[in-house]
Structure 1
Amino acid sequence: MNQLNRRQFFLRFSLATAGVVAFSKFGYSAIGSQPNQIRTEDFIETEITHGKIRGIRTEGVNIFKGIPYAGRVSGDRRFRRPAPLDPWTGVRDALQLGAPAIQAPRRNEPDPSEDCLFLNVWTPANDGKKRPVMFYNHGGGFVVGSGGAGGQDGANLARNFDVVVVEPNHRLGLLGFLYLDEIAGSDYAGSGNMGLLDITAGLKWVHDNIAEFGGDPNNVMIFGESGGGAKTSCLYALPEAAPYFNKASIESGPGVRMTDREIASETTEKLLKELNIDRKDWQKLLEIPAADLLAAQAKFTFVAPSLDKKNRTRGFGPVVDGVVLPHHPFDPTAPEISRNKPLLTGWNEDEYTFFAWERHDTESFKLDFAGLQAKLEPQYGDNARKIIEVYRKSRPNASAPDIFVAISSITMMGLGSINIAERKVKQNGAPVYLYNFGYKSENKIPGTDYPMGTPHAMDISFKFNNEVPPKAGEQPRMSFGGNRPERFTASHHFAELWTIFARTGKPAAEGVPEWPAYNLVDRPTMRIDSTCEVINNRFKEEVDMWRSIGRL
């Protein structure tokens, strides 16, 4: 993939995982993404630590957008912890989204800005009630995305399940994760994890303010999909974040490992060389316009860095610096600091079909079994034949494209999720629950007759309960999840499981079987669909094979 195509791909990928693009090929329109969809009934004011703010009450939900949760991160605060947030007088409007982090412009959002530390809150009422708080880390890898994406609009979760939803923006890319600790001095300690420390500042804001929004500061769930799952993995291991959340969910983004200092330092050196800056003159980085830094960043991989021992890529993401992030999130063990915090983790059954769509990959869906082996050999060598044999035995009716999708999906997101669940179980602390999302979209991958199934990112609108029947007088809208009405039931199941977990630490939903905690004997997995089921030892032969060749 050439550089231009890579940039285009990851931009589209990140926007989609953040839930903000209109999936025009499928006629998808994100719920709540258009201003004329909001019917304002009245304004509502509340007072928080730094002053009064004004939000809106619409259709039974109080919505506050663009609330600043920390101060300036531009100028002399670039690559450092935020400046203190200045209080304001009067009443500050919280009616529009705040600026997202530096990236390409985003649909229906303000222009990106270095000063991006804003968050959004959806609550049934500012009434002093102690509701569970669901704090969402947006997708988009570590380079794009925002807390204002339409597909993850929090109104339906708040309205239908009596929870408070919070979604922050934070620094991304090299502005959030450039490792300067070895060259820049004590003021820049933790520079490789500023994006995570921003999120932590958002969690502290929740602790200090969420009671004013009818939320319980002592019952906070962090969760996130794709890059947001990897961020959640890191927060689960982050000492500074530990006091501010009680449970977590890592969705299609298992962050088992992050970048080590050696790789992060090499990446910094390469950036300085790209910008023609001598190491001793690193402070010139403070003077370069953000747009020029973004252009330099585009020359590095957009893939989340160092997610396993064999993938030592050089991009911008969290750094295991021994201080802010003391160790890899789930390697070699689950983090001791979160031993007593319940965890959800899992993935979508057909993750790869999303990437096929984005990469315009139609050839994978023309494969025969000889072609499948040829396609797998560059990555798996002599094990390619064994892998195919195991999958053909476990899935006797599967076509070669079916098997390619299954292999690609589990290696992208599944094996890491299983690894996290196993290591959490071995900790003998709070329970962990493993899931697969399996509702099937009938939409076809463009240029093929192959259905999308359950692609990466499709879970976003489902778990936010944004797959709902049209209101009276509304035209039915076709979704990324297809057009079958069963999707409404699947979305309700998903959302109820997550909100009950946020409330109690144990996922449950009406009409859904009891979900046992994961263990190393039965290995129960909840398959989430319009009809949910618990499956023990799911994919056993396949997982055993991956373990035997050192991939798990």
Structure 2
Amino acid sequence: MTTRRTVLTGAAAIGASGLVSPGWAWAADRDAPVARTTSGPVIGARDRDISVFKGIRYGADTRLTRFAPPRKPEPWTRPVEALRYGHAAPQRSPTPDQDEDCLFLNVWTPGLDRARRPVMVWIHGGAYSNGSGSDAVTEGTRLARRSDVVVVSLNHRLNLFGYAYLARLAPGFEASGNAGQLDLVLALQWVRDNIANFGGDPNNVMVFGQSGGGAKIATLLATPAAEGLFHRAATMSGQQVTASGPINATRRTLAWLQILGLTAETAARVRELPTAKLLDAATAEDPILGYGGLYFGPVLDDRVLHRHPFYPDAAPQGLKVPMMIGNTKQETLGFVSGPDNSGLDWNRLPSRMTPSAMRIDIAPETVIAEYRRLYPNMTPDEVLIAATTAGRSWRGAVIEAEERAKAGAPAFVYQQDFAVPMRDGRRGAPHGSDIAFVFDNLDASSASKQPGAERMVAAFNGAFTAFARTGDPNHKGLPRWDRYTLPRRQTMVMDVEPQLVSDPRGSERQLFARVPYVQPGT
């Protein structure tokens, strides 16, 4: 399609159908969809029956306001093209098109009408450090078409740009530790104010996200500024039991400043330094964890975030929001596998179960002995994956589900058992393998040619879209899915033949419940 960057303005040209009037001299494709937003009109593209808008600006350029709360963009009058994804946040990953000016979102809709469809807002993963809303596996066309929903994805500030806590070091940085979360709040405000013009219902908004996206959602459930902006929440292998404390967050910031050659007295100079230099300095070893680069995530700053999301209980604010909590059975298959596992035997296994792998303070010998008792046929490699999944990834999800159950709030819990092939030839249900089933994007997944994959799409997609509509994931493609209660711990095991199981892996849960849990990074 041939277009120009802007088109002639004229309110009469945008009719109730959302199409460009034939009187507009702007493009060869005169059926291009146009939607109004509170900032100005935007022009999208057609993918058959789906209208697609990419790179809609929801926030002003953050290069001008580093570490500050986001601002709404300056309004425009001439329609602007929304045909390409916006910039991703700066990060140390191969994600393309990175820039600090990154507050953009994307919309896929079956119609620019008043149908009031459920709205599904995807928050990407990559911890709080990496990722974007433009990954092929989360492209929203098939989800919108299959389920008659409006899909939104977005970018926001990450890592130090979204979460470096400078508030205790210099004036003017009061919200810096949660700037990335405030970006999400601004995006959800955009949805509230604009999504009706894209055929969505602003009173029926579900946020859903995987890994870091799920953690961000758990944090939003305890964030006062986000209250009322979404009505359902679904997290996939992403949890946030506790936020970073202000003292530890300050220690991390000081370690970062030291690499930059700055001190507490000169901290304000971070506003002026090049993006790449700031990112490079964040590779310093974390002074709290003792491994990896510096962790930057939400901070209990008593300004934006006043309490931990799920400690000492589930934040009361979030109890009004129905929640779905999921995980995959072999979460760490892609994290702690690889060459180091080649020929792994029982003698070498304890050294592989390091704090960075298991993220919990328990003797590896104790864990290995219990797994060998529970599962005598497991190999050392299988024990490594099972134990690190249970201690590192799954534990937080269990805590969230238990706290919701104690409070009598709806929580529907799933576990994906359906196995997909890994690049190294192994099979399992690794971190992130459920995303393609929800979005119906098997072509972007290693599950594309797996027998039963289409059935998994029907199960997952049906559950998520039913939950978006009603707050209940039950649909005809699944057995009856009861909410999670204690002591039963009902969990939908997602496989070729889904089944509701009470307390799956209960012995593993009990093993790790002996040890106090501290959210990794906090």
Residue number among 296, 305, 319 corresponding to 2:281 in the alignment? 296
Say whether the 8 Å CA contact 2:126–2:213 is kept in structure 1: yes
| Alignment map for 1:440-519 (pairs within 5 Å) | 440-441=419-420, 443-446=421-424, 451-467=426-442, 479-481=445-447, 483-519=449-485
Q: Percent identity?
A: 35
Q: CA RMSD in A?
A: 2.4
Equivalent residues of 1:490, 1:531 under 8 A apart:
no
Letter in 2 for 1:439: F
Q: 1:87 is matched by which residue type in structure 2? A: P
Aligned to 1:188, the other structure's residue is in SS state coil
Which structure: greater helix fraction?
Answer: 1
Say whether 1:218 aligns with 2:203. Answer: yes
Cα contact 1:42–1:58 (8 A) shared by 2: no
Q: Matches of 2:351 and 2:84 in 1, distance apart?
A: 52
Please state if 1:112 is matched with 2:79.
Answer: no
Does the 8 A contact of 1:226 with 1:457 survive in 2? yes
Q: Which residue of 1 aligns with 2:32?
A: 43
Is it true that 1:68 corresponds to 2:45 in the alignment? no
Structure 2 counterpart of 1:45, one-letter code: V
Matched, 1:368 2:348: no
Distance in 2 (CA, whole Å) between partners of 1:501 and 1:294 is 38
Partner of residue 287, structure 1: 272
Does the aligned pair in 2 maintain the 1:41–1:57 contact within 8 Å?
no
**Residue type of the alignment partner of 2:86:** G
| Distance in 2 between residues matched to 1:314 and 1:106, nearest whole Å | 19
Counterparts of 1:311 and 1:259 in 2: how far apart (Å)?
A: 16
Matches within 5 A, 1:349-428: 349-356=329-336, 361-364=338-341, 366-373=343-350, 375-376=352-353, 383-428=363-408
Cα shift readout 1:494-549 (whole Å, capped 9, x = no counterpart): 11101111110011232210110001121111111222111112111221122234
Alpha-carbon distance in structure 1 between the residues aligned to 2:515 and 2:162:
36
- Asked if residue 250 in structure 1 is aligned to residue 235 in structure 2, the reply is yes
Deviation of residue 68 (structure 1)? 0.5
TM-superposed deviation, 1:416: 0.8
5+ residue gaps, structure 2: 1-28
Report what 1:167 is aligned to: 153
What's the CA shift string for 1:212-263, capped at 9, x where partnerless?
1111111111111111111111111111011201111121121111211001
Mapped partners of 1:372, 1:46: distance in 2: 57
Cα contact 2:105–2:154 (8 A) shared by 1: yes
- TM-superposed CA distance for 1:41, in Å, is 10
Check whether the contact 1:164–1:215 (CA below 8 A) recurs between aligned residues: yes
Cα deviation, residue 106, structure 1 = 4.7
**Alignment check: 8 A CA contact 1:348 1:454 kept:** yes
Partner of 2:122: 136
CA distance in 2, matches of 1:452, 1:104: 29
SS of the residue aligned with 2:281? helix
Count of aligned pairs: 487
Q: Cα 1:284–1:551, aligned 2, differ >3 Å: closer, same or farther?
A: closer
Alpha-carbon displacement from aligned partner over 1:95-152 (angstroms, at most 9, x marks no partner): 1111111125755x5x211111000011111111111111111011111111111111
| Distance in structure 1 (CA, Å) of the matches to 2:362 and 2:53 | 56
More displaced stretch, 417-426 vs 270-279: 270-279
Secondary structure of 1:233 counterpart? helix
Deviation at residue 336 of structure 1 after TM alignment: 0.7
CA distance in 2, matches of 1:120, 1:478: 19
Q: Does 1:150 find its partner at 2:136?
A: yes
User: Distance between the aligned counterparts of 1:426 and 1:313, measured in 2?
Assistant: 36
Q: Distance in 2 between matches of 1:164 and 1:237?
A: 25
Aligned partners of 2:266, 2:477: CA distance in 1, in Å? 63
What one-letter code is carried by the residue in structure 2 that aligns with 1:58? D
Equivalent residue for 2:415, pick from 426, 436, 456: 436
- Give the 3-state SS of the residue equivalent to 2:41 in structure 1: strand
Relative to 1, partners in 2 of residues 1:482 and 1:366: Cα closer, same or farther, differing over 3 Å? farther
Q: Which of 319, 324, 329 pairs up with 1:339?
A: 319
**d(CA) in 2 for partners of 1:444, 1:150:** 18
Give the match for residue 89 of structure 1: 77
Matches within 5 A, 1:255-270: 255-270=240-255
Partners in 2 of 1:290 and 1:131 — Cα distance? 40
Letter in 2 for 1:352: T
> Cα gap change, 1:206/1:418 in structure 2, threshold over 3 Å: closer, same or farther?
same
What is the SS of the residue equivalent to 1:67?
A: strand
Cα deviation, 1:22-58, whole Å, max 9, x if unaligned, reads: xxxxxxxxxxxxxxxxxx9941011111111111121
Mapped to 2, the partners of 1:222 and 1:403 lie a distance apart of 34
Q: Relative to 1, partners in 2 of residues 1:325 and 1:387: Cα closer, same or farther, differing over 3 Å? A: same
Shift of 1:365: 5.1
Structure 1 equivalent of residue 90 of structure 2: 102
TM normalised by structure 2 equals: 0.88
Structure 2 residue identity aligned to 1:90: R
Residues 263, 314 of structure 1: 8 Å contact kept: no
User: Which residue in the other structure is 2:296 paired with?
Assistant: 316
Tell me the secondary structure at the aligned position of residue 382 of structure 2.
helix
The question of whether the paired residues in 2 share the 8 Å contact of 1:356 and 1:362 is answered with no
- Distance in 2 of aligned mates of 1:403 and 1:365: 14
Superposed displacement of residue 154, structure 1: 1.0
Give the drift of 1:458.
1.4
Q: 1:168 to 1:544 in 2, by over 3 A?
A: same
1:180 aligns with 2:166: yes
Residues 169-222 of structure 1 show CA distances to partners (whole Å, capped at 9, x for unaligned) of 00111111111212332x432110000000100000000000011111111111
Q: Distance in 2 between matches of 1:381 and 1:118?
A: 40
* Distance in 1 of aligned mates of 2:459 and 2:136: 21
User: 1:59 Cα deviation (Å)?
Assistant: 2.5
Structure 1 CA distance for aligned equivalents of residues 384 and 110 of structure 2: 44
Amino acid at match of 1:394: L
Deviations 1:39-94 (A, max 9, x none): x994101111111111112122111000001112113x111122341111211101
Q: Does 1:80 align with 2:60?
A: no
The code of the aligned residue for 1:372 comes to L
Answer yes or no: is the 8 Å Cα contact 1:351–1:409 preserved in 2: yes
Aligned counterparts of 2:441 and 2:30: Cα–Cα separation in 1: 21
Deviation at 1:444, TM superposition (A): 4.2
Is the contact between residue 390 and residue 508 of structure 2 (CA under 8 Å) also seen in structure 1?
Answer: no
What secondary structure is seen at the aligned counterpart in 1 of 2:36? strand
Q: Which runs of 5+ in 1 are unaligned?
A: 1-39, 468-476
- Confirm or deny: 8 A CA contact 1:105 1:112 kept in the other structure: no
